[in-house]
């Protein structure tokens, strides 16, 4: 589990709740019609903008913000260097006996052992990488859309509340409470946008970059391994994907 996401959400909502309690009550910030307008309106707009299947897939992808296996590119480089040694010493078929945990790399190795030409293997893996990038981009785009839509729906709710308030101008005592209710929808929209949807969109983008960078290393490294390149050459080539500090750590 990604503790950063959990801690961020808990801390964000805790600060909001504490700020409310310092000079008010939680009950005064709860308005069911306002929540329905903001949450329901945001979901409705998202369904209009996206296909149902894309919405479902995007919410599944969003779970990566909570549950995601850390990507260690340096470990991937080390594994590819070891595979290069095996191929040069024992031949391509020896890869069949290697234990590989990364499914993307395992797929490439399986294709190689089955006798598929390196060019076709690279094309197959590249197509899978492109497909994954597209799926992740759709998920990030959807949450960015929800981030922009939630405050707008909050404004819609505020306008509805103001209209209802203006209808009762004959009762001055009702103006204050009615105004407070009208502003609550803007509050809900801002919280949803800047505490949930916006950060989710950014983290999904970061997760996608990490995963696709690792897959790019595998794509380049496996091609070198299948061509029988020296393990040291493979390592030096792939360390170009790492930050300078990580390269020196890898060399050690």
27-77: pLDDT as tens digits: 888 888 889 999 999 999 999 998 888 888 888 877 777 777 777 888 899
Distance, in Å, from the CA atom of 252 to the CA atom of 243, rounded to the nearest integer, reads: 15
86-123: pLDDT as tens digits: 998 888 888 888 889 899 999 999 999 998 998 999 99
Residues 144/201, Cβ–Cβ less than 8 Å:
yes
Domain layout of the chain by residue ranges: 1-30, 31-252
């Amino acid at each position: 589990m990604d503790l950063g996401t959990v801690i961020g959400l808990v801390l964000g909502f805790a600060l909001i709740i504490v700020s409310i309690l310092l000079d008010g009550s939680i009950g005064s910030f709860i308005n069911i019609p306002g929540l329905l307008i903001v949450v329901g309106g945001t979901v409705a707009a998202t369904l209009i903008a996206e296909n149902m299947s894309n919405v479902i897939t995007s919410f599944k992808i969003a779970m990566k913000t909570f549950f995601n296996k850390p990507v260690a590119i340096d470990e991937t480089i080390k594994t590819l260097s070891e595979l290069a040694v095996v191929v040069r010493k024992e031949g391509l078929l020896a890869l069949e006996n290697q234990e590989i945990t990364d499914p993307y790399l395992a797929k490439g190795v399986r294709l190689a052992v089955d006798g598929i030409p390196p060019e076709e293997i690279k094309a197959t893996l590249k197509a899978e990488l492109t497909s994954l990038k597209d799926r992740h981009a759709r998920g990030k785009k959807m949450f960015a859309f929800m981030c922009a839509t939630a405050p707008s729906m909050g404004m819609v709710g505020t306008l509805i509340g103001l209209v209802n308030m203006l209808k009762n101008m004959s009762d001055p005592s009702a103006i204050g409470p009615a105004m407070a209710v009208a502003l609550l929808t803007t509050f809900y929209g801002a919280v949803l946008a800047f505490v949930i949807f916006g950060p989710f969109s950014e983290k999904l983008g970061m997760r996608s970059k990490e995963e696709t960078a690792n897959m790019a290393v595998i794509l380049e490294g496996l091609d070198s391994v299948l061509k029988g390149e020296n393990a040291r050459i493979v390592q030096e080539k792939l360390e170009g994907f790492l930050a300078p500090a990580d390269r020196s750590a890898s060399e050690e």
